[in-house]
Structures are given as C-alpha cells and as structure tokens.
Amino acid sequence: MKLLEHEAKDLFRAAGIKVPATGGVITDLKQLPAALRKAGKAPWVIKAQVLAGGRGKAGGIKLAKTPAEAKLHAKAILGMTMVTHQTHGEGLKVREVLIDAASKIEREIYFSVVLDRKTAGATIIASAQGGMEIETLAVEHPEAILRLPVDPVTGLPDYAARRLAFDLGLPPERLSEFVKMTKALVRVFLDRDCSLVEVNPLAVTPQGLMALDGKVVTDDNAAFRQPLWAAKTDHQASALEKEAKKHDISYIGLDGTIGCMVNGAGLAMATMDTISLAGGSPANFLDVGGAADEARVTRAFQIILKDKKVKAVLVNIFGGIVKCDMIAAGILGALKKVKLTVPLVVRLEGTNVEAGRALLSKSGVKLLQAKDLWEGAQKAVAAVSGRN
Amino acid sequence: MSILLNKDSKLIVQGFTGAAGSFHAAQCLAYGSPLVGGVTPGRGGTMHLGLPVFNTVTDAVRKTGADASLIFVPAPFAADAIFEAIDAGIRVIITITEGIPVLDMARVKRALEAANLRGNPVRMIGPNCPGVITPGQCKAGIMPGYIHKPGPIGIVSRSGTLTYEAVHQLTQNGLGQSTVVGIGGDPIAGSSHRDILELFESDPKTEAVVMIGEIGGSSEEEAARYFQEKMTKPVFGFIAGRTAPPGRTMGHAGAIVEGGAGTHASKVEALKKAGITLVDNLSEIGQVVARSRKAVAA
C-alpha cells in the first residue's frame, strides 16, 4: 500500500527523522489559518496529497509568503484534478493539502531504500543530485546514482553510512547527522515492513538534514504485525476494489467492457490477455480464489456488475481440487441471487468437467459455454458487439 | 529421473494437523506420494492420517530420514517453519503458504545461502505456490494430481491454475511431464526460473521445458540469459500480464510493473531474443509444443 506524503512524514517523525514543522493536512479552506499558525512563520509550502510523483510540475506544490498567498494556492489546489507523468493519463482529485513550513535549502540529495528482488534484500539508492525524479536521473545521469545493498537482518552499519556520505560529497560536519538519519530510514524500512522508503529531497538546511518529502510503500502481507498502518485506508484502491478485498476477492478495475471471473491470479491475467487477443477489452482483473463456491461466486458477480461499463461476463475456472460440477452448481446458485442483464460465457475445465458442463446445459439458464479459453474469449467479444 | 522429488523421496508436512495441511496431505497420500509423517509442535507422539506426528522437524528427520518438507504453516509463522526445516537438514523445502511478509523471505534467502555455503545443500520452492509434482511418483502440493502424466516435458511457473491449464493441454496432446514446479508469485522466491531450468537441463529424462512467467521482477529475463548461454534443450515460454496496468499488484504480490521495469514487453523481447519459442495464445501451449516435437522427430 502506498502512503501519502504526510503519512510518510508522520512515520519519519516517530522514528526521530527530522521533517519540516507542519500545520498538518487540511481538507477545507476554513482549516487553513489554524494550520498556518501551527506550521509557524512564513513562508509555507502548500502541497497536494496525492499518490503521484511530478506534483510540482503539475501545479500541486506552491510556495506562499503571506497568508493571502497561502489561501490563493490552497484554494487552487484543493479539489483540483492532477495529471502527472505518473498518473497514466488519469486525473487524481486532490482531497487533502499539506501545510508545511518552507525550508531554506542549501543542497538536495536523493535517498531511498528499495526492495531489490534481484538480490533478495534491501538496497539503498542515493544521488548527490536530489530533487530530480529518480527515473529521470537514471536516464540522464546514471553515473550519479549510488547503490548500496543492505543486510535485511542487521540493517545499515555506521561505516557504510559514512562511506555513502563521503561518496555523496557531504562536508565532514554533516557526517554524524547523515549516519543517524540514514540508519533511521533503513530501520523504518526494515521495522515497518516497507518495500519502498524514499526521501527526495533529503535537504541540507540551516536547521540540519531534513526529509522534505516522503514516499513510503508498505508490504500488505505484513499487516498482521504492523498495527500502525494496518488500519490506514488504501488511497489507491477504488471503492469497488476495497469492497472486493473485504471479501477476500482480488479485484482491479480496468477500462474495458468484458467482466472476468477467474480462479488464480496468473490465469486471471492470462484471461485478460486472451480477451484482448480476441479483439475485446477486459473490464477487470478478478481472482475469485481457490474455493470458488456459491457465496464467493455470488459476491464476485455482484462486484463485476457494479461496473456499468461491463457488457458481457466471462467466467474462466480451472477446477482442480474444487471440482467443476461443484463450481457449476455454485454459478447456478449465484445466478439465482444476482440478476444478470448481460451475456454470460462460462468456460470450465478440469476435474469432473463433463458433469459440470452438463449441469449448466440442463439448467436452462441462458448462458454460453466454451470448450477452451480462446473460444470463451471469442464468444464474449462477439456478445459485446452483439453478434450472438 | 526427474528433478527435486521422486518415489524415493521421504516427505514430511509441516503444519500437518491444520485444516490445509490435513486436507492436502491426505490428497498427496491418495496420489501415492512417499509421505512419511508430519510436524505439529505439541502433537508429537500422536498419529494423523495413519502417519506419525513429530514436535520438531529435527525429530522427524531423525526418526524417518525425511529429506523433503511441504509447508502449510500460516504466514505469520511460515518463515520460522522454513528456518526450522533448513536447520534440520531438509534438502527440498516446498512452501505453499501465501502472504509471507517479503522481508521475512529476504531473511529466509540469507539462511538458505548460508546453509549452502556451510555445505548443507538445500533448495526451497515457493512460497505462494502450488508445489512440485513428479507425475506417477510424488505429488507435494495442492495441484490436482490426475491431470498430470509421466513424460518428457518439464514445467516451471510462477502461477497455480495457469500451470494446471498448461499441464492439462500437454496431457491432452499426449505429452507427459517429468516434473512440474510452481516457484510461486511472490517478489522474493526460494528458487527462480533460472534455478529450475538448470535442474531440468541436467535431468536426462527432461527433453523440453515449458516456462510460464508473468509481469514483475526479472526472473524470466535471467532465465532467458541462462537459456541462451548454457541450455541445450528447447524451451517454450508464455508470459501473462500483457493487459495489466502498471503500478498495480495483480493478485500475486510479485506481479507488478514498477518504474517501467518487469513489463510484459521486456520479458517477451528477452525470451524471443534468447531463442525461446514464445506462445502468445495460452490456449495453444499444448499444440505448439506437440507440433514442434513432431517437427523435430520427422
């Protein structure tokens, strides 16, 4: 799960990492004067709280020297729809704005701890050229990027943090502060089960080293031991996605018209791909899980059909331990509870498939059966374009 | 021959008496797997499914000579169960458990490396995987056994039902399998595609390999490099996730395109460049492999 900047900074502050004085987050202009007071003397930075990089360029970060200026900026940013290079063409509505005290920046450093799948551990990525997006930096100045693997058991040793400081060209008087801060950031990564902790910029200011921004991605699998963020809402998930998750169904909404219900994540992706190969477009990713029983199938149908773009539904289930006749009965049971108004294509394969298919045929329920996924995808695509 | 498991393996189940452990252990037994017992702390000395239960993996190894373990222990305790299996000298650890924190897996990887450096060879498969099956000899996992049949094709995959789909098509086309390995859908896994390709390459009974991958990470790209440099047997590849949006986790924790890395396009290109036969349409995997083998035979 991705945390918003202010949530990341709360995490940093609690770990003894210096962040700017803050007036907190506001959702309404009425809250602005109090936030400004709390943040201290002008100038202030007004920052849109959305999960996307490139906020500055998109007009989501503004400096204010007076309360009037702050009001102007906060008003413009609150409620704006932000499109950055990281939102993939979609607009993100700004619902929260962070009010921070502005800092005098002497130097900007890029610092992050990432999950490195290749080395199966954590890796620090740092650069003396902070402030830039790391993706841009990687393309334009790959030589300016430092990498340092971190042991997931012991964390960052002092000597390694010192070496990093020297490699970044920090003056000796900043050394102990840098060691303390980077060790703390690595501890946040390891102790809070993160897959990303990014500080960009990590700024050298007259008040010391400071995290002026924060990006944190947490590992959902560790929620059971991270009460601090287990209760937080997932800002990236849509209402439908959250509802699905509550019922243990893995669902991601997409732009297409063919709703999919599949058992298994890999097969669900492959089903989406096959629909696209057949000339259609998937409306969602949905993994109904191993035990595709009546209750879960019902729930999955309900979730898929809440998306009004859906013009046909393709069910693709490979029955293994759970047998196809059981699954067919589940589908028929679910159809009694859910009023299906769009064409339904069902492809069953696996254990007791003949019995399962017979059950569907004999039921008299209006649905199309397919012998394999390719046929299923083609039938669904044809159904959407009204050809059968 | 086969890889990882055969009829002479001595398999135990960790989390033996739990709901998932019991159910699947019974299925493995029914398949004829060489299951010799199980471990549930506090239940040592009792019998379950007609087999002895032990308190610790070390006990189980001492009394039964177990060399392989199938783990169903719930996610919060799974890493500890893996550490225990490594410590007890188990050679093949298969972890079915889904939802293990990724940093736990990072620590497990260090323990696996350390054990191998000590001269205590151990291989881990999973987590978040369907397991391993050597058809006709040993089923250690949650896959439906009957869709498999013994034969010359090795399969390695990050997915469960997607693998069953491929196995089913191969069997329908008259092609049996040497061993089918699900390496799992997590960002950090015990074994990579490349690790399993190496095993298949040195297995005399495996004649060709089907490699099933998906978006995220670089396991498929690394395997493609190995194939190009070292492998003599043909490999057929399929990559899921062409239509997956970037930045979203597609069910499997490891199936995510981040910062433009691990895309479907980059994997497909790496496989093609290495000379791996790429299958675009999942429904054609069985036919493509069968056709290619007939062409070679003719």
- Cα separation, B110 vs A155, in Å, equals 13
The pLDDT score that the predictor gives to residue A233 is 77
Strand-pair partners of B134: B138
Measured in degrees and rounded to the nearest 5, phi and psi for residue A288 equal -80, -10
Which ranges constitute the DSSP H helices of A124-264?
Answer: 134-140, 158-167, 175-191, 227-230, 239-246
pLDDT score of A234: 81
Residues of A in contact with B268 (CB under 8 A): none
Using CA atoms, how far apart are residues A83 and A191, in angstroms rounded to an integer? 33
Asked whether the beta carbons of residue B165 and residue A219 sit closer than 8 angstroms, the reply is: no
- DSSP class of residue A282 equals B
Instruction: Give the integer Cα–Cα distance in Å for A49 and A26.
Output: 10
Q: Is the backbone of residue B169 left (phi > 0), alpha (psi -120 to 50) or beta? A: alpha
pLDDT tier for residue B170 given thresholds of 50, 70 and 90:
very high
Name the A residues in 317-336 with CB < 8 Å from any B CB.
318-321
Rounded CA gap, A266 and B220, in Å? 15
β-sheet bridge partners, residue B94: B70, B125
Mutating which of B283, B285, B287, B288 best tests the A interface, going by the most A Cβ atoms within 10 A?
B283
Cβ neighbour number for residue A60 with a 10 Å cutoff: 23
Written as one letter, the residue type at A102 is: A
In angstroms, the CA B186 to CA A30 distance is 46
pLDDT attached to residue A142: 83
Residues of B in contact with A120 (CB under 8 A): 105-106, 109, 188
A111 vs A106: CA distance, rounded Å: 16
Q: A254, B245: Cβ pair inside 8 Å?
A: yes
Q: Using one digit for the tens of pLDDT, what is the confidence trace for A305-332? A: 999 999 999 999 998 777 888 889 989 9
B229-249 tens-digit pLDDT: 999 999 999 999 999 998 888
Q: In what order do the strands lie in the sheet with B277-278?
A: B138-141, B131-134, B177-182, B150-157, B208-214, B235-240, B277-278
Check A7, A110, A251, A294 and give the catalytic one.
Answer: A110
Q: How far apart are CA A65 and CA A72, in angstroms?
A: 11
Tell me the C-alpha to C-alpha distance, in Å, between residue A10 and each of A209, A228, A387: 17, 11, 56
The question of whether A110 is a catalytic residue gets the answer yes
ipTM of this complex prediction, to 2 decimal places: 0.94
The reply to whether A267 touches chain B by the CB within 8 Å rule is yes
Stretches where chain A sits below pLDDT 70 are 84-90, 230, 387-388
Q: What is the chain B residue with the closest CA to A51? A: B247
Q: Residue B203: pLDDT band by 50, 70, 90 thresholds? A: very high
| Run of H or E including A204 | strand A194-205
If 0-12 CB within 10 Å is exposed, 13-18 middle and 19+ buried, where does residue A302 land?
A: middle
Across all residues in chain B, what is the average pLDDT? Answer: 95
CB pair distance less than 8 Å for B244 and A285: yes
Cα angle A269, A136, A56; round to 5: 95
Q: How far is B43 from chain A (nearest CA, A)?
A: 26
Q: Which of A193, A273, A320 sits opposite B143 (nearest CB)?
A: A320
Q: Which residue of A has its CA nearest to B251?
A: A265
Strand A194-205 versus strand A145-150 pairing type: unpaired
Say which of B24, B48, B148, B252 is annotated catalytic. Answer: B252
Q: State the greatest distance between any 2 C-alpha atoms of chain B, in Å, as a whole number.
A: 60
Min Cα distance B63 → chain A (Å) is: 31
Contact B251 A195 (CB under 8 A): no
Q: Hey, is the C-beta of A167 within 8 angstroms of any chain B C-beta?
A: no
Number of other residues whose CB lies within 10 A of the CB of residue A68: 9
Instruction: Find the closest chain A residue to B281 by CA distance.
Output: A274
User: pLDDT tens digits, residue range A34-84?
Assistant: 999 999 999 999 999 998 777 888 889 999 999 999 999 999 999 898 876
* Distance (Å, whole) CA A44 – CA A104: 11
Report the C-alpha gap between A3 and B150 in whole angstroms. 49
Residue A131 is predicted with a pLDDT of 76
Min Cα separation B72/chain A (Å): 15
Contact A120 B103 (CB under 8 A): no
pLDDT value of position A387: 54
Q: What is the pLDDT, as a whole number, of residue B298? A: 67
> Which residues in chain A are contacts of B282 at CB distance < 8 A?
270, 273-274, 373-374
Distance, CA of B199 to CA of B250 (rounded, Å) = 29
pLDDT on residue A294? 82
More confident residue, B68 or A337: B68
Q: Answer for the pair B154, B208: CB distance below 8 angstroms, yes or no.
A: yes
Mean pLDDT value across residues B131-148: 96
Angle between helices B219-230 and B193-201 (to 10 degrees): 30
B251 vs A222, A268, A281: nearest CB: A268
B52 DSSP assignment:
E
**Contact A115/B at CB under 8 A:** yes
Select from B232, B233, B255, B230 the least CA-distant residue to B245. Answer: B255
* Set A5, A7, A96, A198: catalytic member: A198
A316 vs A355: CA distance, rounded Å: 16
| Burial group, residue A219, by CB count within 10 angstroms (0-12, 13-18, 19+) | buried
Residue identified by tokens 């620090």 is A124
Nearest CA in chain A to B158: A266
Instruction: Round to whole Å and give the CA distance between A158 and A155.
Output: 10
Q: What is the pLDDT of residue A85?
A: 66
- The verdict on a CB contact (< 8 Å) between A269 and B110 is no
Q: Which candidate from B103, B185, B250 shows the least CB-CB separation from A152?
A: B103
